[in-house]
Every structure is written in structure tokens, then in C-alpha cells.
Amino acid sequence: MGISYNEKTRIFKLDTPNTSYCFGVEDSFGYLLHHYYGRRLAADGVGYLTRTGEYPFTPDRNGREKLSFLNAAPFEYPMGGMGDFREHCLEIRTREGYNTLEAGFRDYEIRRGKRPLAGLPATFGTEADCASLTVRLTDDVVGLTVELEYTVFEDLDAITRSARICNQGKGTVWLTKALSACLDEEDRDFSMLSLHGAWARERGIQYRKLGYGRQGVFSERGVSSHQDQPFLGLTTPGITQTQGEVYGFHLVYSGNFEAQTEVSQFNMTRTLLGINPYNFCWELKPGEAFQTPEVVMVYSCAGLGSMTRTYHDLYRRHLIRGPWRDRKRPVLINNWEATHFDFDLEKLLDIAREAAKAGIEMLVMDDGWFGNRFDDNRALGDWFVNEEKLPGGLDRLARELNGLGLKFGLWIEPEMVSPDSDLFRSHPDWAIQTPGREPGRCRNQYVLDLTRAEVLEYVWQRIRSILSSANIEYVKWDMNRQLSDLGSLGLPPRRQGELYHRYVLAVYELQERLVRTFPNLLLENCSGGGGRFDPGMLYYSPQIWCSDNTDAVERLKIQEGTALLYPLSTIGAHVSDCPNHYMGRTVPFETRGHVALAGTFGYELDVTGISGEDRAQIPGQVAMYHRYNDLVREGDYYRLASCRENGAYDCWQINAKDGSQALVTYVQVMSRVNFPSRRVRLEGLEPGKTYRVEQTGQTYGGDVLMYAGLPVEPLSGDFRSRQYTLIRI
């Protein structure tokens, strides 16, 4: 495993345990062409795959058909303006207004370990667990150098890629498009896999058969968005959890993105990911460099499940940071669905007392604790405690909760400002806006221009002051609107096209300050639910609120799509009250607990107002969480059945890394009559071992459970669930 370069064939070969990625240098100019990505190869004899020995040949051999070569060659990092009429990774404009760019191979560097990306979240590794490659391409006419960065991880089938564009010329260059990675390969009747949705129904799994032309997913909202995940997969026909090939591409970024595949007239597919070029124009002066975000590529020839487990392991080991990554997180109760804005100190303490009796470990105070915040039409930005609601402030509440044995957590939305707020009245220019136009409102709020140093510093000082005022051990960081009316009074006219990206960098800077200043803080990101659920945010927070829709049945689909890429430990999931606030559906309390266990687990309800029967189940659910959390947080996830596909039932399995136990969760979404019981075929067990099902006492061979199936007892009624614990004996 690792990285090599064959000086004779001029081919780079990147090996993971089960995959190989090959590209090489062609022609005397030094075109960098892609050769192969797929199952592990023993050697690099793949140069013939570029077909440069066929018409139209390389420009060295056939100068009269250079454009035909450029428009068909499988480029590793395609650039615009010279005759490749497909999508490009990099496009520029010079001071003279020209846009041509053609960079050839200059040199390379192979090393152990992995360098961080300046100002951006990215995977990390040590010299012991990964190797990296930098390939430099230069355009001497423009004076631009492109550094392509690759990392392979020793024990994971993942490869990361990014690009750094350096201006080594004498004149300013404007980047009008700067994507992170490209993969050119032959089309094999691929379908495109994406995660699509909207508020309260995020990350629904979608397949689309590729056709000629350009197709993909994107965001122009300033955030990665509820609507599309910064992910694209290419799947071969008949893909399932256990068979078929899939190429996964995931962008570690929290702003506007583009993930696109183009099928050319020659039946080649070109897949590109990176920052969306919409309203993007970056001024690059001599001596300056621009760093693109990272793309995580995963190839699997053993179905979607193998891809999923690779992403899970990579993100758990090499993206999530901090002390909470590998620790059991406290069972919390959030007061939002219990009280909305209508609460005071006594109401919170009433909830806290009942919660403590039931074994809950933290109370999180949501929106409404600051300024004149009695509804969502005012006071964002006025981050000062409302002592009419909370006499004695946050410190008194924290001490009261700590005295009950509970930790204290706090909701905050620091990126926003209400038009009706003291902050906006004092600094109306601090909101993102186009001069001469009133900014559009969303949730009756504006976005603060964090790209301005004075605004970022003010927000940071308020955050630091709040968190220093009391024993606050958890923060839920919310962001409830998109960016629009793009304009910054802190940027000159020629640099307004940098605002979208600079905003994301500012958010990253704030969160980096937060986790460094308060290293033991448990941070949960949120954006109107799952509107900024992306790998970039995981670099700062080990968990993200999955969706504002807490209905357990809807969560089956939302959490299935989320878990396709993200570890269960990152999925913010709570047991909420019924009828559900959004769906009006009533689901058994037991089922709500089983679904929330496939996430961070907590409560979103008024524990003083629910039925005694439901309240009596909380201690058992808390005990269930404590028993299984290490397994859920660290184990291998298998998707066994999908109610999204079959309309009837859902089932997933989590196996301990050492194979000692497994947990199977089965949810009967719709009941049926006059049918025999179901059998669910398990995965990942040892065929020659015996397993005891704790709930029934029955023993089965691992081969029997995988090839014949686990019998599931008949359940009466809709939305019923069961758990089965398998112990290897």
C-alpha cells in the first residue's frame, strides 16, 4: 500500500488495501492523464488505457489535431480555454481579459503523513497511517502553478484530493472556477447516486441513469443545503448493499458546491467536485495561493455497504477531532419542543428535576434566553441574558442544574441578526446586503457579514463571554437561513465575487477558535435541522442535528440517507413527543427510542407533560443507550432493509469491531395480515461461529443467520419495533 512513481512509464500508482488509482504524464508537454481507478492492481501496466496510441494521438505525434486530443483525453485536472470543451476544474481570467490556461507536469513529491489545508477542514493522518503525493503543473505563460494533492490511508479504501493554485507570475490572475478534483473514465451504464431533499426531509436517496451531457447536484445558497448533499456516487447496474461497483465522491466543504458528471460524445464520464463557480471570482495576486477544499473518493466493488463503512471509519478516525470523538456523550433533553419561547427559570427547573429522576444527564436551553427574544421576529444578535426569564443569569441556571446532577447546554445562532435588534440598529451595515436594496428576509433575519474583521471579532467576543460566564458544557450552533443579496461593505467592488467563500472561511475560523478556547466543549452544529450537515462541519463538531423532523417514521428515511455516508455517532437524534409536532403522527415510545439510538440519542419533549407510561420507559431507554452506545459509536453499520424501498419495514445491524456482538434493529412500519413471519438475512458475522440471541435465548450458526436469516417475531400494529442482541459464543 502507498504511492509510487515509475520513472520509465511515467505513471503514478496510489494503492489502498483493495483499490488502485493510476495516472501518468504524456507527451513532451507533460499532459497529466488519468489511467485507472478500481480494484487493486499488482502493477501499473495501464498506460494503454488512455488510447494515446490511437487517433488523434498526442500533439507530439499529430500537431494538426491538438484540439481533438484535448477534447477527448482523460485529464487528471482539466483546465479551460485551450480546446477541451467539456467541464473544467480550473478557469481563469488575466488582467488583459484572456482565459486560456494550459499547465504541464513539472515535478512531484512523495512523503509520509498528511499536511493540513490552510483555513479549511480536511482529513488528517500521521506518517504511520497515510502517505501523500504532490504533483505540480505549471503554465509558464500565465505564471500559474497548480499543486495537486493526494493522500492514501494505509488501512482504508479512501483517497483524498485537493488543489492549490499559486500565482508565480508578475500579474494578477482572477480564478473564475477552482474545483478540487476530477475523474475521467469510460461510462459503464452508470447511474448517479445523490442525496436530495428539503427542510424536514433531508438526504433522501436518489438514483438517476446517466445520459449524454451534464448532470449533477449543487448548492448556490451559501450553505451545503437541505436540498442536496455535497456528494455524488457513480453506480453500476444492479447495485445493492452487497454487490456492484460504486465510486463515491464527497466534498469536505460547507458552502456553495458543485458535483457534476458529464457523459461525452465518446462515452466517457467526467466527474468533478468543488466550490460552485456561481458568483465566484477570486483575485490572486503575484505570490498568493488559493486552496481548494478536499474531496474524499471511495471505490467499492462489493456494493454500497462497503463504501459506507469506509466513509464511517475514515471520518471517525481521520476527520472528527477532540475529546468527544471517542467518548460516550451525555443523554440530553432539549426544551424546544417542550416550551418553544414560553419558558422561565422555574419551568426549566421543573423539566430538569423530572429529567434527572429518569436518568437524563443534561438539559439544553434552546432559543429564547437572550435579549427581547419572545418570538422569532426579534433580538438575534443581542446575545445578553434576559434576566426577566432567567434571574441570576446563565450562571445561576448552570449551578441549579449541576446541583441536580445535570450538565448544562445552550443554543446559539451567532451568524444571524434580526432587523428588530439593538445590534442591527447600531450596525445596519454589518448585515450582508447589496447597497441600495433592502435585504430579503428569511425567518425574519439577516446574515451577519463575518468576512469583516470587526464583525467576526464582535461575534467571537460575545460567544467567548457567554461561555465563560457559566459552566456550559455543550453548545448547539444553529444557522437558520441561506445567503442572498450578496454584498459586503468590507470588500472592494473587484472582490465581491469572493464573498461566498470568504464567509465559509470565517465560519470555520469562528468554530476553530471555539474548539481551541473551550477544548472540552461538546459542540453540535445545526442549520434549520440538516441544512449544513456536511464533512466540513464534522471537523469542528462530532455531531450535527440531523433534521428538525423528529417523527420516528420519517427519521427512518432521513437517517438511512445520512448513514449512507456518516457514522451513526454524528447523527443528532432525539425521542420527541406525540402526536409529532410536524407530522401529527403517533408512534410508540419504544420505537421512538430504538430509532433515536441509531444516532446521538436524547429527548425533545416536556418530560413533565407526557404520559406516565411513556415517562416510565425513559430510565430503561437511558440504560439501553449506555449499554449499546460504544457499539453504535464504533461498530460496523449494515443496512439490511429499507422501508424507503419496500414500503413495509426497516432494518439495520451494527457489529462490534472485534466480532463479539451485534445489534439488530427491526421496525415494522406497516402491519400486514395473513402472512408468515419475516426472516432477515444478517451480514458481517463469522460463518463458523455460534451466536446466541439474547432476547429469545436461541442459538444459531453465523452462516445460518447470514444465508437463511434471523426470524423476526410477528408484531401487531404499525410502527412497532424490536431489537435483537447477538452474542458470539
Q: Is the pLDDT of residue 463 over 80?
A: yes
Question: What per-residue confidence (pLDDT) applies to 63?
Answer: 83
| AA letter at 413 | E
Average pLDDT over residues 405-411: 98
Longest pairwise C-alpha distance within the chain: 83
Q: Provide the grid cell at 566.
A: 456518516
CB proximity list for 52: less than 8 A, separation 6 or greater: 26, 27, 33, 58, 73
SS3 content of the chain, % helix, strand, coil (to 5): 25, 35, 45
Residue 294's pLDDT band (cuts 50, 70, 90): very high
- Which pLDDT score is estimated for 511? 98
Q: Within a 10 A sphere around the Cβ of 170, how many other Cβ atoms?
A: 7
**Overall average pLDDT of the 637-646 stretch:** 97
Over residues 629-638, the pLDDT tens digits come to 999 999 999 9
* Cross-sheet strand order for the sheet of 661-668: 636-641, 649-655, 661-668, 720-728, 690-693, 699-701
Confidence of residue 116 (pLDDT cuts 50, 70, 90): very high
The confidence score (pLDDT) of residue 2 equals 93
Q: What is the rounded distance in angstroms from the CA atom of residue 298 to the CA atom of residue 565?
A: 11
Tell me the C-alpha distance between 52 and 56, whole Å. 8
The pLDDT of residue 485 is 94
Q: Which of 548, 606, 614, 636 is catalytic?
A: 548
Cell numbers describing residue 437: 436594496
> Number of C-alpha atoms within 13 angstroms, CB side, residue 362?
21
What one-character DSSP code corresponds to residue 570? G
84, 313, 478, 534: the active-site residue: 478
pLDDT digits (tens, 9 = 90+) for 470-518: 999 999 999 999 999 999 999 999 999 999 999 999 999 999 999 999 9
Give me 347's grid cell: 419551568
Tell which residue, 529, 531, 536, has the closest CA to residue 508.
536
Q: Cis before residue 579, ω within 30 degrees of 0?
A: yes
Decide if pLDDT at 546 tops 80: yes
Per-residue pLDDT for 528 more than 90?
yes
From residue 311, how far is each of 37, 564, 586, 650, 669 by CA, in Å?
17, 9, 34, 22, 28
Mean pLDDT of 606-621: 97
Give 284's pLDDT tier (boundaries 50, 70, 90): very high
Which domains are assigned to the chain?
2-318 (2.70.98.60), 332-634 (3.20.20.70), 640-728 (2.60.40.1180)
Residues 6+ apart with CB under 8 A from 104: 29, 30, 31, 32, 137, 138, 139
Distances (CA, A) of 692 to 630, 655, 664, 683: 20, 14, 13, 15
> What is the Cα–Cα distance from 544 to 149, expressed in whole angstroms?
28
Which pLDDT value is given to residue 224? 96
DSSP secondary structure string for all residues of 545-561: E--S---HHHHHHHHHH
The letter for the amino acid at 216 is: G
pLDDT of residue 674: 84
The mean of the pLDDT values for the chain is: 97
Check: CB of residue 575 under 8 Å from CB of residue 625: no
- The percent of residues above 90 in pLDDT, for the chain, comes to 97
**Nearest-CA neighbor of 352 among 414, 412, 413, 396?**
396
pLDDT level of residue 468 (50, 70, 90 thresholds): very high
CB 144 within 8 A of CB 106: no
Strand runs labelled E in 140-236:
144-153, 158-167, 173-186, 191-198, 201-209, 213-219, 231-235
- Full-model pTM: 0.98
Beta carbons of 78 and 87 less than 8 angstroms apart: yes
What pLDDT is attached to residue 1? 64
**What's the rounded mean pLDDT across residues 284-311?**
98
pLDDT tens-digit readout, 73-114: 999 999 999 999 999 999 999 999 999 999 999 999 999 999
Let me know if 326 is a catalytic residue. Answer: no
Q: Which of 63, 71, 109 is nearest to 87 (CA)?
A: 71
Cα separation, 513 vs 511, whole angstroms: 5
The span from the CA of 310 to the CA of 216, in Å, is: 23
548 is catalytic: yes
